[in-house]
């Protein structure tokens, strides 16, 4: 277990709750169920597979290239504080860097914009000082079909990667082909992977990996492009991993089965705001800024993380780590984890930040996940349309402890692309693998601005670990 410092909260009833920063204390009398059992509940049973699946290798966020306002308006010291809270406290090891790569943009202009956005202001050095070890490149060019040949395009990308290393020492570890490449055909994506691998190798960049297709959803369009790559041995060998995004649809068995039994990683390179804006009487969006305390969006964030871990994702990256506005001009702060607070001079944390922090306390990098299935046959897949009421995942950490996460996403407004179950407390019975069945688990429950330690829970006589999870709550457990 991590070493925590001690803090306490005292309520008017003198109830003491241990904060997220608290050191876990021994509980001499573990309970058989954690949570309030006095309210009516629905029940769900989840079974954890005894066989290990994938290793959780990477965790991070994106930082857009156009965030110079952070430095000009707030200053480098404020950026460093934000970076330490987001990238340091969430133990992130990857950051996704953007570069505009449209057909009309040449390498020199790409470098000028990249250096201005990340290098000249010291941004990359700040991120590295917060613990970032690796850089993923996200070439962005919109969804229009390419007008240049794939040979021209891949030569440009490889040349850019080579020259930013030679000129400024920026090492790209992995690159995509194009962010959400809706305009690319499956044939163009396949050709781009092959040619980019050849271009990188010819420039001495054999250690730069390639992931694709980074489609907006893990749907049939994404699968067609991956199937086309897999059919060609040279192209499949050129690929370090497949990649999709996690918004209305998270990772699924369609994608998972494409890499089953192979050496390919599964990257989820962008998860962001899950819910559509509500519409007014005229059918127009009611755009509202996300402010701290939004447990609805936070619960969808946790659900997609757990869903993706259940479907063999090895690297998980949030949309934007640090935002550059307190109030976003497009009211789009749901995409960020933290941003400057203009009123207090401090930091404004979206509640999803705390949910991810709670999950990271349960699951360390290097954790090996085991599959989780609902015994009743109800889907725990974050798919188009109906969303699950409960999502659960379990993994064994490198130190031998086991972590579990369970989140309740009931009681959320429906939209044309997402439907949710009626709000209900759920008693979740989790069938634990035999290797962990004799252990005791410390439980933690989410709050709008953090999470609290609760009781120690033991596996019952039937081999189940039992927790009660209210709507929009995240409960995590870690063995002792």
Same domain, 37 and 89: no
Question: From CA 447, how far away is CA 449, in angstroms rounded?
Answer: 5
- Reading the block at residue 143, the tokens are 């969804």
Question: From CA 59, how far away is CA 317, in angstroms rounded?
Answer: 6
* Within-domain flag for 10: no
pLDDT digits (tens, 9 = 90+) for 418-435: 999 999 999 999 999 999
* Within-domain flag for 184: yes
Q: Rounded to 5, what percent of the chain is helix, strand, coil?
A: 30, 30, 40
Q: List the single range of 18-22, 96-100, 410-414 with lowest mean pLDDT.
A: 18-22
Percent of all residues in the chain with a pLDDT value above 90, rounded to a whole number = 85
For 273-289, letters b (16+ CB in 10 Å) and e give: bbbeeeeeeeeeeeeee
Same domain, 38 and 175: no
CB atoms within 10 A of CB 217: 18
Closest CA to 1 of 464, 314, 363, 394: 363
Question: Is the pTM here over 0.85, yes or no?
Answer: yes
CB atoms within 10 A of CB 69: 11
pLDDT band for 40, please (50, 70, 90 cuts). low
Q: List the single range of 180-184, 197-201, 376-380 with lowest mean pLDDT.
A: 376-380
* Phi-psi group of 385: left, alpha or beta (phi > 0 → left; psi -120 to 50 → alpha; rest → beta): left
pLDDT digits (tens, 9 = 90+) for 294-341: 999 999 999 999 999 999 999 999 999 999 999 999 899 999 999 999
**Environment class of 78 (CB within 10 Å of its CB; exposed 0-12, middle 13-18, buried 19+):** middle
pLDDT digits (tens, 9 = 90+) for 139-186: 999 999 999 999 999 999 999 999 999 999 999 999 999 999 999 999
Domain with 392 in it: what CATH number? 2.60.40.1180
Judged by DSSP in three states, 400 sits in: coil
> Do residues 79 and 118 lie in contact, with contact meaning Cβ atoms separated by under 8 Å?
no
Same domain, 108 and 253: yes
Same domain, 292 and 358: yes
Positive or negative: CA dihedral 136, 358, 218, 179: negative
Bridge partners (DSSP) listed for residue 408 = 390
* Within-domain flag for 433: yes
* Within-domain flag for 23: no
Its domain, for residue 390, covers 29-53+371-479
First-last CA distance in the chain: 7
Domain with 219 in it: what CATH number? 3.20.20.80
**Environment class of 408 (CB within 10 Å of its CB; exposed 0-12, middle 13-18, buried 19+):** buried
* Within-domain flag for 6: no
Same domain, 206 and 289: yes
Domain boundary among 362, 393, 409: 362
Count how many domains the chain has: 2
Same domain, 167 and 95: yes
pLDDT band for 214, please (50, 70, 90 cuts). very high
pLDDT digits (tens, 9 = 90+) for 337-357: 999 999 999 999 999 999 999
> Do residues 350 and 297 lie in contact, with contact meaning Cβ atoms separated by under 8 Å?
yes
Domain boundary among 335, 362, 389: 362
pLDDT at 10 over 60: no
pLDDT of residue 282: 85
pLDDT of residue 7: 34
* Within-domain flag for 18: no
- Reading the block at residue 404, the tokens are 């579990």
Same domain, 177 and 277: yes
Same domain, 331 and 433: no
* Within-domain flag for 21: no
Same domain, 375 and 331: no
Question: From CA 350, how far away is CA 448, in angstroms rounded?
Answer: 9
Question: From CA 420, how far away is CA 387, in angstroms rounded?
Answer: 5
* Within-domain flag for 83: yes
CA–CA–CA angle 429, 433, 437 (5° rounding): 80
Same domain, 201 and 328: yes
Name the one residue in this structure whose structure tokens are 């008693």.
427
Domain boundary among 362, 380, 399: 362
Same domain, 196 and 309: yes
Same domain, 205 and 285: yes
pLDDT band for 293, please (50, 70, 90 cuts). very high
Q: Between these two residues, 368 and 16, which has the higher pLDDT value?
A: 368
Percent of all residues in the chain with a pLDDT value above 70, rounded to a whole number = 92
pLDDT of residue 26: 46
């Amino acid at each position: 277990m991590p070493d925590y410092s001690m803090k306490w909260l005292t309520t008017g009833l003198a109830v003491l709750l241990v904060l997220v920063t608290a050191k876990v204390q021994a509980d001499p009398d573990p309970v058989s169920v954690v949570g309030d059992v006095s309210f009516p509940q629905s029940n769900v049973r989840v079974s954890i597979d005894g066989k290990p699946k994938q290793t959780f290798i990477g965790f991070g966020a994106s930082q857009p290239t156009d965030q110079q306002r952070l430095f000009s308006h707030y200053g480098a010291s404020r950026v460093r504080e934000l970076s330490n809270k987001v990238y340091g406290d969430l133990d992130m090891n990857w950051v996704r860097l953007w570069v505009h790569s449209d057909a009309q943009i040449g390498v020199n202009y790409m470098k000028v914009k990249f250096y201005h956005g990340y290098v000249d202001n010291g941004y990359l050095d700040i991120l590295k000082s917060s613990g970032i070890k690796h850089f993923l490149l996200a070439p962005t060019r919109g969804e229009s079909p390419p007008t240049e040949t794939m040979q021209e395009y891949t030569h440009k990308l490889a040349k850019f990667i080579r020259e930013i290393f030679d000129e400024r020492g920026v090492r790209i570890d992995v690159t995509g082909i194009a962010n959400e490449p809706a305009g690319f055909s499956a044939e163009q994506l396949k050709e781009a992977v092959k040619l980019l691998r050849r271009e990188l190798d010819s420039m001495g960049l054999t250690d730069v990996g390639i992931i694709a297709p980074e489609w907006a959803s893990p749907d049939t369009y994404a699968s067609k492009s991956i199937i086309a790559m897999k059919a060609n041995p040279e192209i499949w060998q050129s690929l370090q991993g497949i990649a999709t995004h996690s918004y209305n649809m998270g990772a699924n068995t369609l994608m998972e089965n494409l890499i089953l039994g192979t050496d390919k990683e599964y990257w989820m390179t962008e998860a962001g705001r899950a819910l559509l804006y509500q519409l007014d009487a005229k059918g127009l969006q009611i755009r509202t800024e996300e402010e701290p305390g939004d447990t609805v969006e936070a619960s969808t964030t946790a659900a997609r993380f757990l869903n993706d871990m259940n479907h063999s994702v090895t690297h998980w990256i949030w949309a934007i780590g640090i935002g550059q506005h307190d109030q976003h001009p497009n009211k789009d702060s749901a995409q960020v984890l933290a941003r400057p607070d203009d009123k207090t001079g401090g930091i404004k944390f979206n509640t999803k930040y705390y949910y991810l922090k709670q999950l990271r306390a349960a699951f360390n990098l290097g954790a090996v996940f085991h599959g989780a299935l609902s015994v009743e046959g109800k889907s725990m897949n974050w798919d188009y349309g109906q969303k699950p009421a409960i999502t659960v995942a379990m993994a064994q950490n490198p130190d031998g402890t086991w972590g579990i996460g369970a989140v309740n996403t009931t009681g959320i407004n429906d939209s044309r692309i997402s439907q949710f179950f009626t709000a209900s407390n759920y008693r979740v019975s989790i069938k634990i693998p035999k290797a962990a069945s004799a252990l005791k688990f410390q439980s933690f429950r989410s709050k709008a601005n953090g999470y609290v330690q609760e009781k120690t829970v033991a596996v019952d006589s039937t081999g189940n670990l039992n927790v009660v999870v209210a709507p929009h709550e995240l409960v995590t457990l870690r063995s002792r």
